Chains A and B, each alone.
Chain A
Amino acid sequence: MTLTSYFMEATYLVASILFIFALKGMSHPETARRGMFLAEGGMFAAIVGTLIGAHIVTWIWIIAGLAVGSIIGAWMAIWDPMTAMPQRTALSHAFGAFAAALVGIGEFLVHGAEMTVVTRGALGFEIMLGSLTTTGSLIACGKLQGIIHGKPIQFRGQNFVNLAIFLGMAGCFVSFWIHPESPIVFYSMLGIAFVFGVMLVIPIGSADMPVVMSLLNSYAGLASAATGFVLGNNVLIIAGTLDGFSGFILSVLMCKAMNRSITNVLFGGFGAVIAEATSNAGGVMREISLDDAAMQLAFANRVVFVPGYGLATAQAQHAVRELAELLEGRGVTVKYAIHPVAGRMPGHMNVLLAEANVPYSSLYEMEQINPELPSTDVVVVIGANDVVNPDARDNPKSLIAGMPIIEVDRAKSVIVLKRGQGRGFSGLENPLFFKACTSMLYGDAKSSLSHLAQAVQHV
């Protein structure tokens, strides 16, 4: 080993340590930013170390790639609106996984002949995970952006077809493992993995996106870790594994928050055909006028806001904060209740409300807020549906039975902001809307909230 190689390895060790410190910092909002600076430093060190230590002879492609990537990356970092965070994250899973797949193809081109059995195995995983995550994430991004319809796309025998594709991919993998000399097998594995990624995500409805996002996150990380095994590079293994496990932990948390298993999300096609499972949710929905709603809010002691995906689509995060501040000015205690799967990715609502300058101490998790709800005067539900559906608790036949919910129906009164009388995204009937304590305020969430704020000022 030359001196420059030792230097390169040293930068990798430093980077690994800094990455771990960065994730440790994520345990609190106060320390999170400082942690990220460490990670940025680690990344920079590793890049410089590689450029110095890896016997680079051709600079043109490297400089071009770094320049183009930095421009696009910086443009995204500066201009992407916070409401677009889910699709932007899905896109970055696709980019990361695609880079891993490309590195795998390159390694096959150059070192394919002299690879050992173990390296070939790792390369196979890298290629499969990398490619299926690329296309899967692109589909997820398309669904979140609305380019592809958010409804699950399903057909007869879908699981059978998917199984066949999976077996085809696995067959190519095994064949490549045993007979590495055939490039056809290698490229078939690559192609089938791309198709498999598409097939894996199209049957999944938008409401299940938090789980899918976390899973793709995990796959993208594991693809990086597999790259590390192929290249014999420890910092890649460490960073990839951290990413993979983070995604895995998030998937488990999201599944728990919906009381469903990962297999059920992937192969269940939730939200496709929902028929008889709906409970006896009958009766009338009681509409409330703006002035009455404002009156209730203004004279309440405790108010809780429950945001859902509707808050993001209506871009109502600033409007709700203004209303909350007016109420606080009148001495009302205002809190926000955040369900783990509200929105389209883990933590989606927290980021939106933080953007609107809501202090994080006002944001409460489901377990924290539920015991306080019976003593709450008014709950305002903004574009949330399933996460407040009492059927999950009361009706064992419901499709979402057993899913933990924010028990808003225990509060003294509930105001639901909703665009129209229709069912929610999942197509489930929500008995909450028919309860005696519930009243409905129809209209666009953003304008309803700002009108409420005006009305509160005049009370």
Chain B
Amino acid sequence: MNPAVLIASVYVFALAAFLGYQVISRVPPLLHTPLMSATNAISGISLIGSLVLAGAKGYPLQAHILGFIAVTTATINVVGGFGLTDRMLKMFKSRTAAKKEEAK
């Protein structure tokens, strides 16, 4: 990694940390469990690193196999994480919505 890229990456890291702090401290305790599940799903973005390992040009077979396992676990996180987060968020209802559900 050359110094210019490193410095750019450190900038990205610092700005993301600042932005993350600003955004996440606004999440109410009510939604802390879905938040954890959502950030988990989002950090499943390491899937893209796994994809490269599993299939890109110039990688040997053992890298492909490691990549395969990594793709599997990361995909579990992405699919499972987003699925569960949505299932959870669907359950949080305002008073009127909860009443409507009951009437059905």
Interface pair A245/B17, CB less than 8 Å apart: yes
Distance between Cα atoms of A360 and B94 in the complex (Å)? 6
Interface pair A106/B63, CB less than 8 Å apart: yes
A340 within 8 A of B: yes
A-B pair count, CB < 8 Å, reads 371
Interface pair A40/B80, CB less than 8 Å apart: no
Interface size range of chain A in the complex: 35 or more
Distance between Cα atoms of A246 and B41 in the complex (Å)? 13
Cβ of B75: which chain A residues have Cβ within 8 Å of it?
Answer: 65-66, 68-70, 73
Cβ of B54: which chain A residues have Cβ within 8 Å of it?
Answer: 58, 61-62, 65
Interface pair A109/B62, CB less than 8 Å apart: yes
Cβ of A361: which chain B residues have Cβ within 8 Å of it?
Answer: 94-95
Cβ of A69: which chain B residues have Cβ within 8 Å of it?
Answer: 71-76, 78-79
Distance between Cα atoms of A361 and B94 in the complex (Å)? 6
Distance between Cα atoms of A351 and B92 in the complex (Å)? 8
- Closest approach, in angstroms, between the C-beta of B65 and any C-beta of chain A? 7
From A19, A73, A245, A340, contact of B76 by CB (8 A): A73
As a 0/1 sequence over residues 37 to 69 of chain A, the CB contacts with chain B under 8 angstroms (1 = contact) are 001100100110011001111110110111011
Interface pair B36/A36, CB less than 8 Å apart: no
Interface pair A54/B30, CB less than 8 Å apart: no
- Closest approach, in angstroms, between the C-beta of B56 and any C-beta of chain A? 5
List which A190-242 residues lie within 8 A (CB) of chain B: 213-214, 217, 220-221, 224-225, 227-229, 231-242
Cβ of B17: which chain A residues have Cβ within 8 Å of it?
Answer: 241, 244-245
Interface pair A96/B52, CB less than 8 Å apart: no
Distance between Cα atoms of A329 and B45 in the complex (Å)? 48
Interface pair A354/B35, CB less than 8 Å apart: no
List which B1-45 residues lie within 8 A (CB) of chain A: 1-2, 5-6, 9, 12-13, 16-17, 19-21, 23-45
Interface pair B68/A64, CB less than 8 Å apart: yes
Given contacts A29-B31, A36-B85, A99-B74, contact A242 B16 (CB under 8 A): yes
From A46, A348, A355, contact of B91 by CB (8 A): A355
Interface pair A32/B31, CB less than 8 Å apart: yes
A272 within 8 A of B: no
Interface pair A221/B39, CB less than 8 Å apart: yes
Cβ of B70: which chain A residues have Cβ within 8 Å of it?
Answer: 65, 98-99, 102-103, 106
Interface pair B42/A242, CB less than 8 Å apart: yes
> Which stretch (A75-83, A173-181, A290-298, A409-417) binds chain B?
A75-83
As a 0/1 sequence over residues 49 to 75 of chain B, the CB contacts with chain A under 8 angstroms (1 = contact) are 111111111111011111111111111
Distance between Cα atoms of A155 and B27 in the complex (Å)? 39
Cβ of A224: which chain B residues have Cβ within 8 Å of it?
Answer: 43, 45-46
- Closest approach, in angstroms, between the C-beta of A113 and any C-beta of chain B? 13
List which A77-98 residues lie within 8 A (CB) of chain B: 77-78, 80, 82, 85, 88-89, 92-93, 95-96, 98
List residues of chain B with CB under 8 Å of any chain A CB.
1-2, 5-6, 9, 12-13, 16-17, 19-21, 23-60, 62-95, 97-99, 101-102
A-B contact sample (13 more), CB < 8 A, given A50-B52, A77-B82, A95-B73:
A46-B48, A73-B83, A82-B88, A102-B53, A106-B70, A217-B36, A229-B9, A236-B49, A240-B43, A242-B20, A345-B33, A350-B33, A355-B91
